[in-house]
Amino acid sequence: MGASGFEITVNTVKMLLIFLLMVQLVPILVWVERRGSAFIQNRFGPNRVGPLGLTQLLADAVKFLFKEEFRPPKSEAFLFYAAPVLALIPGALAFGSIPLSAPFDLTWGGETFSFLFQSFDLGIGIVFVLAISSLGTYALLFAGWGSGNKYSMMGAVRASAQMISYELALGLSLVGILLIYGTFSFSEMIEAQKGPLSFMLMGKNVEIPFLPNWGIFYQPLGFILFFAATFAETNRSPFDLPEAEAELVAGYHTEYGGLKMLMFYIGEYGHMMVASALLATFYFGGWDLPFGSDWLKEAIGSSFLYSLVMHLVFMTKVLLFLWVFVWVRWTLPRFRYDQLMDLGWKTMLPWALFNTVVTAVVVVLFSSVGNS
């Protein structure tokens, strides 16, 4: 975390702020979801509490705070209480390892320190996020088993089976991106996506000036697969069978009430934010503004302000994807469980393999022709 006291302080403050950013985005997301779903369904959403209904979730949180503290007596106390806390941890850790903006410098006492706009930087960016996401199944299993209710248990087992099936498709669709960029680190991937679209074709360096060098132009199929897989990973419609009301009541969080239930939702929205941030980083250039970042960097002198402006660019992309999440939820009907598992194993895995092989072939052909 740095050697001198100043570095440690700034890093700690930065880590806390990023975590709070994630937590504070949740009320905004819920508001977007409720108003957006209302708009799609041709009705008003919450518009009485506060201006435009913005403080609705604050009122809801206060209401949740005063709910009765209930623990079903046949349940296992430690697991029951640990599950909501465990639901927060993977999302927060994964969100902390994604660069949210450009690195910046701060001077203190004559020395200039360089800081990254992320809680911590690991050389193995992607793999860490996947590893932490795979620990997310434990929150579901704890909640299901800890409730002492057989319907919760069944819901939890179904939900975790769904999650692990789509983790395969998720991991495999990322191999294409890795083949192209040759690095695990997010910052290097964002660096490689700067500038206009350029690649080697038949020995010549082709450059298309009006398109940015984003990952989506290199991996369109990978984008579609990754996009669909993250829907299933976050238990989000149309894959939200474990939470569907007609099915198993509320699935694995049936027996939860009050603030513990809210923590599951924070965890779910946290995962959504991580998924949107990953989509923005891999396929849409991260915090980089396509044709403006260079002159912006010179126009804004201080690297700190530049960092903040680029953060706004990143958050715009992330919010765009979050809106797409909400939009898809209220547009598509839900999948049946066997359709869901069939889609994961029989459709997405083979297509992801196909994507990998084709990408590998293309990289070999284009690079070797160019190099020889």
Q: How far is the CB of 178 from another protein (least distance, A)?
A: 4
User: Using CB under 8 A as the criterion, what x/- string covers residues 35-74 for binding another protein?
Assistant: -----------------------------xxxxxxxxxxx
> How many residues contact another protein, by CB under 8 A?
96
User: Does residue 346 touch another protein according to CB under 8 A?
Assistant: yes
User: Does residue 351 touch another protein according to CB under 8 A?
Assistant: no
Residues 81-110 touching another protein, rule: CB under 8 A, are 81, 84-86, 88-89, 92-93, 96
How much is the CA Rg of the chain, to the nearest whole Å? Answer: 22
What's at 347, amino acid-wise?
T
Q: How far is the CB of 63 from another protein (least distance, A)?
A: 10
Q: How far is the CB of 237 from another protein (least distance, A)?
A: 20
* Beta-carbon contacts of residue 137 (< 8 Å; ≥ 6 apart): 160, 163, 164
Q: Contact, 86 vs 139, CB < 8 A?
A: yes
Residues 159-198 touching another protein, rule: CB under 8 A, are 160-161, 164-165, 167-168, 171-172, 175, 178-179, 182-184
Backbone phi, psi, residue 269, to 5°: -70, -30
Q: How far is the CB of 300 from another protein (least distance, A)?
A: 28
* 182/196 with CB nearer another protein: 182
Residues 107-136 touching another protein, rule: CB under 8 A, are 119-124, 127-128, 130-132, 134-135
Q: How far is the CB of 77 from another protein (least distance, A)?
A: 12
Residues 256-295 touching another protein, rule: CB under 8 A, are 258-260, 263
Token readout for 272 is: 């959504």
Residues 284-343 touching another protein, rule: CB under 8 A, are 337-338, 341-342
Q: How far is the CB of 38 from another protein (least distance, A)?
A: 28
Q: How far is the CB of 364 from another protein (least distance, A)?
A: 4
* 205/368 with CB nearer another protein: 368
* 289/352 with CB nearer another protein: 352
